[in-house]
Structure 1
C-alpha cells in the first residue's frame, strides 16, 4: 500500500542530536582546521539529507496517489490536527492533505537552508586559522539547529500524518472491483468468502472495528477484487459522520460494480423496508457515476418470493449463499456488468 512503508519522522531534537553527535565523532578523527571542516560537513550533510528524505519518502499526491487513496487520505487527515502547534493562523489550515503538503514544503525549505549554511561556512573555514574556524563552526551549528527547530512542528505534523495513514487498507485501485453493500448480517462476507475462498481475509480500515472484507478471483486470466466495507455502505447515509461519508465517497473511485444484498427473511434483524431504502440510496450514489448496481435478495431458502406480504423487492437475482443457489450466476452477472478489458501492450 502506498503509505505503508513511510518511515518515522524524527523530531527536531532527535535530528539535531544525531547530527551533532556524529559530527563530534568525525572531528575527533581529524586535527586542527580539518577537524572543524569535517565536523561542519558531517553535521550539515546529516541535517540536510534527513530533512530532504522526510519529503521524498512521501508520494506525490498529484501524480502518484490514486483518486481512491487521495480521498481516503483527505478524509483521515481532515480529522487529524497536524502537530501540537502551527504557524498557520487558522487551525483548519493544519488539516487535510493541503496541511500535510504545507508541512512538507516547509521541511523542504529547511533542507535547502541548511545546505546553504553549510556552503557558506565551509567557505569561511577555508580562509582562517583554527581558533577562528572553531568559532565559525559553532556559529554554523547554531544556525543549523535554529532552522531545524523552526520546522519542529512540521516534522511532528508529518509524523502524525504518517501514523494516521499507514494502516489504510491494501486495496488495488487498478484492479476491476466488485463492492458488496447492504446491512450487516445479510450475507455479504459469506458471499465474498464463498466465491473467492478468502476465508476471512481482511484489511485494517480506520473507520471500522471489523476491517474491510477482501477477496480475489480470476476469470479469463483477469484478477477481480471483491470488497465489503462494514461501517460505510451498511447503513443509511444520514447515519454516517463526516469522515465516514467522505470514505464512502472514496469508494466511488474504486467500484466497477456494486452488489447490494437484501435479506427479506428477517434473519438479519433489519426491516426489509429499511434495507430497500438503503439500496435506493446506494443505487442513487453509484448509478449517478454510471457504476452498475445489482440488487440481490439473499437467503431465498428462508423466505417465499411469492409472499404478498413482502414489499416489491425489485431484485435482479434471488440467491442463497448457504445452499449455493444462484451464487455463481450473481458473480457472473457482476463480472459481465464490469465488462473489463485489460490494457494490452502496444504492438508495433
Structure 2
C-alpha cells in the first residue's frame, strides 16, 4: 500500500477510562434486578450474561485498537523506517503485543468463570463468582496503562504526519541546514513552510504540490543534514535520510556558495559525498543557491579553491545550476529540469518492464513506406494563398502606420519604482477635468460636484450671525404693548405657570427617596414648605378667587403619622424604659403577654422565610422539585425492556 490514512485511527483511552467505559456499558446494557421468585438456573444465566458481555466489550475494544494501528510488515518501507525512526519499532511492537496478550487473558478469565457459574448453587455464590471475574478482568486492564499511554502518543503523532505517496512523481529537496530548501518549496508550490534565518527551522518532512506538463507533482522538503555518520544523527536528520533511501524521486541538492548558512562549502560537499550512495538510480541536480549574494563567476575570482570544489561535481557529469530564491532567478529552470529528468527516467523504466511489451504487442502502429523518390508539397488553393497574402500585407501596413498603444505593462517596465496604477485616466467624460473629481457621480450628463457651491459655508456663517443679531434685537419676540389688556394678562399668567411648573419639578426631584439627603438632628428646624395659607396666597396671585374655600378638601388638616397618638406613644415609651417586666395591655398589642408576643414574632419570621427565599429568585434559577419521583422509583418492575437503565 502506498499511502495510509493515519487520521482514521480511533482514540486510545487510558487504563482507568478504559475500565470505566466497559463497566458502565455493562451496567447500562444488561439487567440489574433479581427478584425473589427467580430459579437458580435463571440466576446463573443472569450473572453469566454479565461476565460474557463485559468480556466481549473488552475483546472488541482491544481488537479495534490492534487492527487500526498499522503493521510494519504491511506498510511501504518508507513508512516502516519512518515509524522506526520516530517511535522505535521495538517499543511499538511490544505495546501492541501486550494488548494482544491482555485480550487473550480476558477471554481466558471469562471462559473459566463461565464454567464455574454453570454450577453455582446459590445466589450469593454466583454473585461472588461474577465479582471475581470482573475484578480479574479489571486487574489485567489496569496493568496495561503504559502501553495504552504510549500508543495514544503514537496515534497523535501519526495523525500529524503529512500524507506522502512514495510511488508518485516527487521532487526531493535536501542539503545542509538554512540552504534555502523551504524558500524554494514556497515558490514552486502552494505550501507555506516556515522560513527563518537560523538552522533547523524545518524539523520534520513537509509536503507540497505543484503542476507541470498537466501533471500533479509532489515536493518534499526535508530537514537539514550535518556532516557526521548515520549512527550519530538525531531523529530530525534521520527523517531526511529515510526519505532519500526509500522514495524514488528527482533529488535537488542545495549548496550555499555564500556560506551564509554557517556551514563552509567544503563541509557541504562532504555532506554530499556522505549521502551520495542514496542518490543511486535517481535524477540528481546540484543547485548553488543565493546567487544574488555571490555567483559562480564571482566565486572563481574571489576564491578559486572553492570554485574548484564545485568544478569537481561538473567533471563527474552532475548538472550544477545557479539560483536565487530572493530574485527568483533560475527557480523555474531548476524545477523544469528536475521534472523533465524524472519524467524521462520513469518512461524509460516503464519501457523496460514486461508490461510495456505486452501493451506494444497488442498495438499496431502503421508506418507507410514511400513508393518513389518524388517530393510532394502540400496543395493549397490559389484563392486561399491570395487571401493570406492580403491579410499579411494589411497587418504590415497597419503596424507601420499606427504605433502600438502603450499598455500598463510597458509603462511599468519604463517607470520602474515610480509607476503607480491610475485607473481614472481611462474614464470617458465630456470634460477631462471631471475624471479626478472626488465625487464623479453623473446625473443627466452633468457632474453632481459642479452644482455644489464652494462658498456655502461662508454664506451659512453669515446667515447664523444675522439670526443671532435679530434674536438680540427682539425681532422674534411678540410686542406685548401693542396687544390689548386681556391678551397681555394671559401672557403674564402663562409665564408664571411655566415658572411654577419648573419649581414644582425641582421640588419633586429633591423629595425623591433616592435623591433626598439625610439631615442630622442638630440642624435647625426648617420652615414648612406646604401650608394652606401659602397655597391660598399663591392662587390669589395667579388670579384665582379664594374668598369662599371653607370646608374644601385642602383646608382639612390631618395627622400623617400612621402609629398611635403622640401622648399614647410617649406613655408607652416611658413605661418601657422604667420597667420591661410588665407586659403591654391586651388592647394595645393584641397579645396576652410577652412570651406570646415573642412566639408570634418567631412564627411570623418563619412564615416569611420561604417568601424571602422565593423573592430572591431570578430568571436563570432552576429548581428540581423531586429528585426521585415516586412513579419511577416505587412498585415492582415488569418483565419488559430495561433499556432505560
Q: Is residue 2:102 matched to residue 1:102? A: no
Higher mean C-alpha displacement, 105-114 vs 24-33: 24-33
Is the 1:193–1:199 contact (alpha carbons within 8 Å) kept by the matching residues of 2?
yes
Relative to structure 1, the CA distance from residue 329 to residue 148 in structure 2 (aligned partners, 3 Å threshold; closer, same or farther) is same
State the partner residue of 2:11. Answer: 8
State the partner residue of 1:154. Answer: 147
Highest CA radius of gyration, 1 or 2?
Answer: 2
State the partner residue of 1:280. Answer: 273
Relative to structure 1, the CA distance from residue 270 to residue 245 in structure 2 (aligned partners, 3 Å threshold; closer, same or farther) is closer
Relative to structure 1, the CA distance from residue 303 to residue 237 in structure 2 (aligned partners, 3 Å threshold; closer, same or farther) is same
Relative to structure 1, the CA distance from residue 279 to residue 17 in structure 2 (aligned partners, 3 Å threshold; closer, same or farther) is same
State the partner residue of 1:53. Answer: 64
**CA offset at residue 295 of structure 1?**
0.8
Q: Is residue 2:69 matched to residue 1:69? A: no
Aligned residues: 321
**CA offset at residue 174 of structure 1?**
2.7
Matched position secondary structure for 1:75: helix
Q: For the residues of structure 2 that align with 1:326 and 1:36, how far apart are their CA atoms? A: 77
Q: Is residue 2:283 matched to residue 1:292? A: yes
Is the 1:76–1:164 contact (alpha carbons within 8 Å) kept by the matching residues of 2?
no
Q: For the residues of structure 2 that align with 1:294 and 1:178, how far apart are their CA atoms? A: 11
Following superposition of structure 1 onto structure 2, how do residues 218-257 of structure 1 map, counting pairs within 5 Å? 218-230=211-223, 232-233=224-225, 235-238=226-229, 241-251=233-243, 252-257=245-250
Q: Is residue 2:150 matched to residue 1:140? A: no
Q: Which runs of 5+ in 1 are unaligned?
A: 78-95
Matched position secondary structure for 2:188: helix
Q: Which runs of 5+ in 2 are unaligned?
A: 36-42, 312-318, 363-645
Matched position secondary structure for 2:139: helix
Q: For the residues of structure 2 that align with 1:318 and 1:27, how far apart are their CA atoms? A: 73
**CA offset at residue 267 of structure 1?**
4.5
Deviation readout 1:89-111 (Å, 9 max, x if unpaired): xxxxxxx2123212212311221
Calculate the aligned-residue CA RMSD, in Å: 3.4
**CA offset at residue 269 of structure 1?**
4.7
Relative to structure 1, the CA distance from residue 43 to residue 333 in structure 2 (aligned partners, 3 Å threshold; closer, same or farther) is same
Is the 1:49–1:111 contact (alpha carbons within 8 Å) kept by the matching residues of 2?
no
Please, which of 329, 334, 340 is the counterpart of residue 330 of structure 1?
334
Relative to structure 1, the CA distance from residue 213 to residue 10 in structure 2 (aligned partners, 3 Å threshold; closer, same or farther) is closer
State the partner residue of 2:296. Answer: 305
Q: For the residues of structure 2 that align with 1:20 and 1:198, how far apart are their CA atoms? A: 47
Deviation readout 1:245-294 (Å, 9 max, x if unpaired): 53333122125121112232455454333333333334x2423x433321
Relative to structure 1, the CA distance from residue 106 to residue 300 in structure 2 (aligned partners, 3 Å threshold; closer, same or farther) is closer
Q: Kindly indicate whether structure 1 or structure 2 has the higher relative contact order, using CA contacts under 8 Å at least 6 residues apart.
A: 1
Relative to structure 1, the CA distance from residue 285 to residue 23 in structure 2 (aligned partners, 3 Å threshold; closer, same or farther) is same
Relative to structure 1, the CA distance from residue 211 to residue 144 in structure 2 (aligned partners, 3 Å threshold; closer, same or farther) is closer
Higher mean C-alpha displacement, 65-74 vs 120-129: 120-129
Q: For the residues of structure 1 that align with 2:296 and 2:30, how far apart are their CA atoms? A: 84
Q: For the residues of structure 2 that align with 1:154 and 1:257, how far apart are their CA atoms? A: 40
Is the 1:114–1:147 contact (alpha carbons within 8 Å) kept by the matching residues of 2?
yes
Q: Is residue 2:346 matched to residue 1:340? A: yes
TM-score (norm 1): 0.77
Q: For the residues of structure 2 that align with 1:109 and 1:174, how far apart are their CA atoms? A: 36
TM-score (norm 2): 0.44
Relative to structure 1, the CA distance from residue 159 to residue 260 in structure 2 (aligned partners, 3 Å threshold; closer, same or farther) is same
Higher mean C-alpha displacement, 168-177 vs 43-52: 168-177
